[in-house]
Amino acid sequence: MGGDYAPGMVVQGLDHALARLDSAQFLLFGDENQLAPLLRRHRRVAQVSEVRHTDAVISNDARPAAALRTGQSSSMRLSIDAVARNEAEGVVSAGNTGALMAMVKVVLKTLPGVDRPAIASVFPTERGRSVILDLGANVECTADNLVQFAVMGEVFARKVLGLERPSVGLLNVGEEQFKGNDSVRGAARVLQASLLAIDFHGFIEGTDIGAGTVDVIVTDGFTGNVALKTAEGVAKLYTRFLRESMTSSLLAKLGGLLARPALRKMRARVDPRLYDGAMFLGLNGVVFKAHGGTDAVGFASAVNVAVELVADRVNDGIKEDFACVNRDLQNDPDLMVHSNG
């Protein structure tokens, strides 16, 4: 029931998603009076779906703590409960991000070795695609948190982006070792230690995000959230400036007409709907958050990524890696970091 266009875009999105799925089954939590007519229109979805009725919905402006306390029978909470009971392998929601994070932390809990889950997203770069985390789950992060994000992001890049040896960079205000705050410097020291078997590039700067200098960008939730939303805003600004230029004169209009297929291809390359939403990494269960304003195409892409996260056993990979990390750290106590170190 979450998202500006739910539940219509959810059912329509599942229909789109099914085109790319061999087999998948869905539990739909929400108002059956709204869902029934939608499922009649999308028979393919109806065949693989089961509706679990509830009237309660978490509103977009609900504060996380309140949602957790009073939203026990909400569509959001019931869908998470289904994952906790192993009735479902993952949950996709376009609802209130803060409420979703609060609920999954309490209900699903973090994987062994993970102190705090992180929000991660994939985005287009000059070199292809990269993943960035955290995007807002943790506004303040210790060095330990950042190291854990690096491990989780690396597993994701290997398993889902299919990279053999993804490179990992720590977002900072400069590349020199002495730059930044205690958290990034502490995390860099641990990641540089070869034991972790991560291809650690070192510090990167904001310009490296678009350049695709590394496959995995690690940062605290405050900086990551601002950086990704800034990128989104600049992309929009450029699209607008381009449209204005291409309609500023008769010649430009004609040029734009001739170049239209090429420009359309360019737009497809950066179509925000293909990079829609974010994964919550580090939890016992797959959790994918679609954008609140997403449409059926965006929701379908969210569902497809969630299915991939399940199929690629990303959480098992994270668990295995943390087992290794913890063994290494026990063997070499110098690597234990604390945010003030």
Residues that bind a copy of itself (CB under 8 A): 61, 63, 124-126, 136, 139-140, 171, 173-174, 176, 178, 180-181, 205-211, 219, 221-223, 225-238, 240-242, 244-246, 248-249, 251-252, 254-263, 265-266, 269-270
Which residue has tokens 């690396």?
A: 154
Q: How far is the CB of 224 from a copy of itself (least distance, A)?
A: 9
Q: What's at 117, amino acid-wise?
A: P
> Phi, psi (5° rounding) for residue 75?
-60, -35
| 199-204 and 129-133 beta bridge pairing | unpaired
Cβ closest to a copy of itself, residue 242 vs residue 310: 242
Q: How many CB atoms lie within 10 A of CB 157?
A: 24
Q: How far is the CB of 63 from a copy of itself (least distance, A)?
A: 7
Q: Assess contact for 140 and 146: CB atoms under 8 A.
A: no
Q: How far is the CB of 64 from a copy of itself (least distance, A)?
A: 9
Cβ closest to a copy of itself, residue 36 vs residue 254: 254
DSSP string, 166-211: -EEEEE-S-SSTT-S-HHHHHHHHHHHSGGG--EEEEEE-THHHHH
Q: Assess contact for 190 and 246: CB atoms under 8 A.
A: no
Q: How far is the CB of 339 from a copy of itself (least distance, A)?
A: 12
Cβ closest to a copy of itself, residue 8 vs residue 256: 256
Cβ closest to a copy of itself, residue 30 vs residue 95: 95
Cα(273)–Cα(192) distance, integer angstroms = 35
Q: How far is the CB of 182 from a copy of itself (least distance, A)?
A: 9
Tokens, residue 149 = 């994000």
Cβ closest to a copy of itself, residue 279 vs residue 306: 279
